[in-house]
Amino acid sequence: MNKFLGTVVEKITLDLGGTFTPSHITSIQLKLNGKVVWESSGSRLVASNTFLGGATDSTKLKIDFMDRKAVTVNARQVGSIDLSAGSGVTSARIEVTISGATAPTLGGFVDVSPPTNDPAEAGIRPLIARRHAATVVVGAAGTFALPIPHIDPAGGGSNFRRIFIYSANMNAIKTMREGVTEHELTKAQNEAAQKDNGRVPQANLFVFDPCQDGQLTGRTWDTRPVSGVRSAQVYGTFSAGETVTIETDELLPIAAY
């Protein structure tokens, strides 16, 4: 990935060959300056890409940092990985863990754009898409606080574009900031609103998507103390126990990593 230093990375496409499918990828990690800033697995990435309206292809796996269904230019472009000289990034590396594939081959290509000094992009250019994962065991049916990565304002909080919760049994969500309930919907209600905004709900995936209307300003779910937030929680209601994986989609400057 170091060959792309000096550019802005918009999308990475992995080209899978042999008997190699996304389900064989147990881990993908993008590291900048040695730190993991983006992670997922093949099957989880396919589900989230499809939810966002992306095309599916069993031989191509796409890591798209942009929001291609956004209705404003900045909302579409924000999240791209700025590797220009002024970004402070001196090394970029992608690591893929493969399990169970027979004679796999792996290639790929990257969509990049040149850095820009356009004043209209000044507010979004430093922001890159962070995606971190956590796993939690839900022991039984009930409602529980979820350990969303970086949610706690006491630890610095974060600026969430959306949160992916990979669960077969989660049937409702409630989000709170400063003790105020802001988003409280069943899975059916949540997905009905998302369908109106062009999302494609997937089995075994519950998505909290405050930017589902394709806009950015005033839509992200910010839990940072600099935004005046001192407490934030996400609660999930489950019909039965299971192991749940949570992945974030956050917008933060590289200096926050």
Distances (CA, A) of 71 to 3, 117, 221: 32, 22, 18
Rg of the chain over all Cα atoms, to the nearest angstrom: 18
User: 2-130 with 133-256: one CATH topology?
Assistant: yes
pLDDT of residue 246: 99
Contact 182, 175 (CB under 8 A): yes
pLDDT of residue 128: 94
pLDDT at 120: 77
Q: What is the pLDDT of residue 79?
A: 94
Two tokens, residue 232: 């934030």
Tell me the C-alpha distance between 214 and 219, whole Å. Answer: 9
Strand segments (E) across 114-152? 127-130, 133-138, 142-145
Structure tokens at 185: 């919907």
Would you say 194 and 201 are in contact if contact means Cβ atoms under 8 Å apart? yes
pLDDT at residue 66, as a whole number? 93
Token pair recorded at residue 167: 């669960």
Class of domain 133-256: mainly beta
Distance CA 29, CA 37 (A): 8
Helices vs strands, H then E, count in the chain: 3, 17
Q: Could you confirm whether domain 2-130 is CATH 1.10.287.110?
A: no
Question: How large a percentage of the chain has pLDDT more than 70?
Answer: 100
The structural domains of the chain, with segments of one domain joined by +, span 2-130, 133-256
- Residue 165: strand pairing partners: 206, 246
Six token digits for residue 217: 């300003």
Identify the three-state secondary structure at position 236: strand
The pLDDT score that the predictor gives to residue 229 is 98
With beta carbons less than 8 A apart as the criterion, state whether 185 and 191 touch. Answer: no
Question: How confident is the model over 123-136, as a mean pLDDT?
Answer: 93
First to last CA, the chain: 18
Kindly report, residue by residue over 159-172, the tens digit of the pLDDT.
Answer: 999 999 999 999 99
Residue 179 neighbours by CB distance under 10 Å: 9
Q: Express each pLDDT in 195-252 by its tens digit.
A: 999 999 999 999 999 999 999 889 999 999 999 999 999 999 999 999 999 999 999 9
- Residue 45 DSSP SS3: helix
pTM of the model: 0.96
pLDDT reported for residue 228: 97
